[in-house]
Structure 1
Amino acid sequence: MALLWVRRLHRRALEDRSRLLERERESAAQVAVDAERARIAAELHDIVSHNVSLMVVQASAAREVLTTMPGEAAAAMLAVEGAGRDAMTELRHLLGLLAPSQSGEEEQGQADLSPQPSLGGLGPLVDRIAFAGLPVEVRIAGEPRPLPAGIDLTAYRIVQEALTNALKHGDGGKAEVTVRYTDHYLRVEVLNSGPSVLSGGSPAPRKPVSEQGYGPGHGLLGLRERVAVYGGDLDARRRLGGGFRVRARIPLDKP
Structure 2
Amino acid sequence: MTERAMLGRLRAGARALTRPADPLPPLSLRSRVFDAVLALGLGLVGIQAGDSGIQDERWSAVCPAARAGGGPAAACEPPWPPFLPIENNQSTAATVTLLLLVVLPLVFRRRYPLGVLWTVLVLAVAVDENPAALRMSFFACVIAGYTAAVFSPYRVPALASLPVAAMLHVTLQSDASSVADGAVPFLILLPIAVAADGLRRWRHRADEGQARMSAMEHEQAEALRRATEHERARIARELHDVVTHNVSVMVIQAGGARKIMDSAPDQAREALLAVEASGRSAMTELRHVMGLLTMQGVGPDPAGDAELAPQPGLDGLDGLVQRMRDTGVPIELVRSGQRMPLPSGIELTVYRLVQEALTNVVKHAAGASVRVTLAYGDDHLRVEIADTGGRPGASAGTGTGRGLIGLRERLAVYGGVLQAGPRLSGGYRVQARIPVEAS
TM, length-normalised to structure 2: 0.52
Residue by residue over 1:139-183, the C-alpha shift from the partner in whole angstroms, topping out at 9 and shown as x without a partner, is 111111221111110000000110111122214231001111112
CA contact (8 A) 1:169 1:212 kept: no
Q: Which residue of 2 aligns with 1:229?
A: 413
Tell me which of the two structures has the higher relative contact order, counting C-alpha pairs closer than 8 angstroms and 6 or more residues apart.
1
User: How far off its partner does 1:14 sit?
Assistant: 0.8
* Aligned mates of 2:266, 2:305 — CA distance in 1: 35
Question: 2: CA distance between counterparts of 1:178 and 1:149?
Answer: 19
Larger radius of gyration: 2
Is 1:193–1:242's contact at 8 Å kept on the other side of the alignment?
A: yes
Q: For 1:27 and 1:99, how far apart are their aligned partners in 2?
A: 24
Corresponding position of 1:25: 220
1:16-68 CA distance string (max 9 Å, x none):
11111111111212211111111100000000000000000000000100011
Mapped partners of 2:234, 2:422: distance in 1: 27
Question: Mapping of 1:1-255 within 5 angstroms?
Answer: 1-102=196-297, 110-111=306-307, 113-194=308-389, 211=397, 213=399, 217-253=401-437
Contact 2:361 2:368 in 1 (8 A): no
Quick one: distance in 2 between partners of 1:69 and 1:102?
47
**Identical aligned residues as a percent:** 49
Alignment length, in residue pairs?
239
Secondary structure at the aligned position of 1:98 is classed as: helix
Q: CA deviation at 1:228?
A: 1.1
CA change 1:102–1:120 in 2 (3 A) is closer
Structure with higher strand content = 1
C-alpha RMSD of matched pairs (Å): 2.2
Shift in alpha-carbon separation, 1:37–1:29, aligned structure 2, 3 A: same
Indicate if the aligned counterparts of 2:297 and 2:305 stay in contact, CA closer than 8 A: no
Higher helix share: 2
Deviation at 1:240, TM superposition (A): 1.7
The answer as to whether partners of 1:119 and 1:156 remain within 8 angstroms in 2 is: yes
Structure 1: how far apart are the matches of 2:341 and 2:327?
30
- The 2-side partners of 1:63 and 1:12 are apart by 75
> Which segments of structure 1 move beyond 6 Å, counting only runs of 4 or more?
106-109
